[in-house]
Amino acid sequence: MKFALKKTLLAAVAVSAMMAPSIASAEVKIGFLGGFTGPIESLMPAIANGAKLAASQVNAQGGTSSGKISVVDADTTCADATKAADAADRLVNSEKVVAIVGAQCSGATISAANNAAIPAGVTMISPASTSPKLTTMKDNDLVFRTAPSDAYQGAVLARLLKAKGFKNIAITYVNNDYGKGFAGALKAAFEADGGKVAASEAHEDGKADYRAEIGSLASHGAEILVVLAYAGGSGQNIIRQALEGGDFEKFAGGDGLVADKLIAGVGKGKLDGIIATRVGSPKLAGADLFAKAAKAAKLDPKAIFAAQSYDAAFLLALAIEKNGSAERKGVNKALRAVASAPGVVILPGEWEKAKKLIAEGKDINYEGASGSHEFDAAGDVPGVIIETTVKGDKFVDVGPAK
C-alpha cells in the first residue's frame, strides 16, 4: 500500500509540474495608458510602438528572469479624467500589471495615478506628460516621466519668441493640466524677459466654433497668437478660424501642435514659418542605436515622444529585473537604481548585457534613446527642446532651441 501510494504521489507531482508554467514562459504584464482616441489620436501609434519595440527587444533576448514582457493597452481618451481613471483601474486591478508606461496627457496621468496606480503601489513612467503639476504630486515616489516639464519648455519657447523679435503676444490654451501649466510657464518667462503678454485665455477642447475666443484675443493687438492645444482638437480649429477671419497671421505653439494632422486640417502652405517647440533627444550613443532599431521596425525615430516611450518601457523592464521578481513593491526603488550613475552603462537594446550584470550583483546605469534619465527627487528629468516649423506639408526641425 505504501509503495502504491508513493507512486501515486510521484505521478501527481509530475503532472502538476508539467501543467505549471515555467518561469521562462511566464508573462510579466506592463500596462500602456494612451490617448488612442481623442485629440492626440494621430500621435499614438508611434508612441505605443516605441514602448512595444523595447518589449520586443527584451523578449528576443530571453525576457526578464520572471518571464517575458507583455504590453497591455488601455485608452484614456486623453481628455476625460474619469475614463483615464477607469482605464488605469482595469490595468491595475483586472490585468494585474506590474508597472505602467503612461499616461500621455498630463490630466490623464494625474487621474490614473491618484485613482488607481498610487493606491495599489504601481510605478508609472509617462513619456509625454509635461505639466509642472506632476512635479508637486504626492505620489509616494511612484510617478516618473522621461519628458521634461513644461516649466522648462515654456521658458524655452519664451526665449525663442523674444529672439525672433516678438514683444507682444497673446496666448490661448486648452483648459486642462497641460494647457494651464504650459501657459503659466510661458507667461512668467516671457514677462520676466521684458515681453508683454497682452492676453492669456483658456478655451475648452472639442468645440466647433472658437470665433468668440479668437475675437477676444485679437482685440488686444498682439503680434502673434500662441496656441497651446492639440493638433487633432482645438488647436487645429482655432488656427484655421483665426486665418479665415483675418484675426491673426502668425502663430506659435508647443508639442501638442506638432503633428502632420494640423497641416492637413488647416491647409498646405498656410502654416509655413509657424514657430513651434517639441521635446527632443540629446546627441547620445543611445539615440543612434534606437534610431537604427526603430527604422528596422518601420518606426520613425523622430516621431514625437516615441523615443521617450521606448525608454520608459525599457527602464521598467530593467527595474523589474533589478527588483528580482514580477512584484510591484520595490519597482520604483529599482528604477532609480538602474537609471542612475554610477554603474556600467547600458544602451538601448543591450538587454542581455544588463541582465547578466544585474545577476552578478553589479550596478548599471541606463543611458537612453531620449536622454540619460537621472531622475530627480520628483521623478523629473532634464531634457532637450527642439525648434520646429512647417514647410509645405510637413513639420521640419530647425535644431535645438536655447
Half-sphere exposure of 327 (CA within 13 A, CB side): 6
* pLDDT, mean over the chain: 93
d(C-alpha 284, C-alpha 292), whole Å? 13
Task: Please name the residues in contact with 360: beta carbons below 8 A apart, sequence gap of 6 or more.
Answer: none
The string of DSSP codes covering 253-307 is E-GGG-SHHHHHHH-TTSSTT-EEEEEE--S-HHHHHHHHHHHHTT--TTSTTHH
Nearest one of 395, 399, 348 to 373, comparing CA atoms: 348
Average pLDDT for residues 119-125, to the nearest whole number? 98
What's the confidence (pLDDT) of residue 25?
A: 52
Region at 303 (left for phi over 0; alpha for psi -120 to 50; beta for the rest):
beta
Grid cell listed for 84 = 483615464
d(C-alpha 209, C-alpha 173), whole Å? 15
Backbone angles phi, psi at 96, to 5 degrees: 60, 45
d(C-alpha 139, C-alpha 137), whole Å? 5
**Bridge partners (DSSP) listed for residue 173:** 202, 228
d(C-alpha 370, C-alpha 40), whole Å? 20
Domains of the chain, CATH where assigned: 26-147+283-366 (3.40.50.2300), 151-273 (3.40.50.2300)
Q: Find the helix or strand (DSSP H, E) in which 335 lies.
A: helix 331-339
Q: By CB neighbour count within 10 A (0-12 exposed, 13-18 middle, 19+ buried), where does 148 fall? A: buried
Q: Residue 21 above 90 pLDDT?
A: no
* Per-residue pLDDT tens over the stretch 206-257: 999 999 999 999 999 999 999 999 999 999 999 999 999 999 999 999 999 9
Task: Please name the residues in contact with 109: beta carbons below 8 A apart, sequence gap of 6 or more.
Answer: 33, 84, 102, 103, 124, 126, 129, 134, 143
What's the confidence (pLDDT) of residue 382?
A: 87
- How sure is the predictor about 5, in pLDDT bands with cuts at 50, 70 and 90? very low
* Per-residue pLDDT tens over the stretch 314-347: 999 999 999 999 999 999 999 999 999 999 999 9
Task: Please name the residues in contact with 185: beta carbons below 8 A apart, sequence gap of 6 or more.
Answer: 132, 150, 151, 152, 153, 154, 155
Is the backbone peptide bond immediately before 163 cis, with ω within 30 degrees of 0? no
- How sure is the predictor about 26, in pLDDT bands with cuts at 50, 70 and 90? confident
Q: Are 166 and 195 in contact (CB under 8 A)?
A: yes
pTM for this model (two decimals): 0.89
What's the confidence (pLDDT) of residue 116?
A: 98
d(C-alpha 174, C-alpha 150), whole Å? 14
Task: Please name the residues in contact with 86: beta carbons below 8 A apart, sequence gap of 6 or more.
Answer: none
* Per-residue pLDDT tens over the stretch 52-108: 999 999 999 999 999 999 999 999 999 999 999 999 999 999 999 999 999 999 999
306-323 helix and 351-359 helix, angle to the nearest 10 degrees: 20
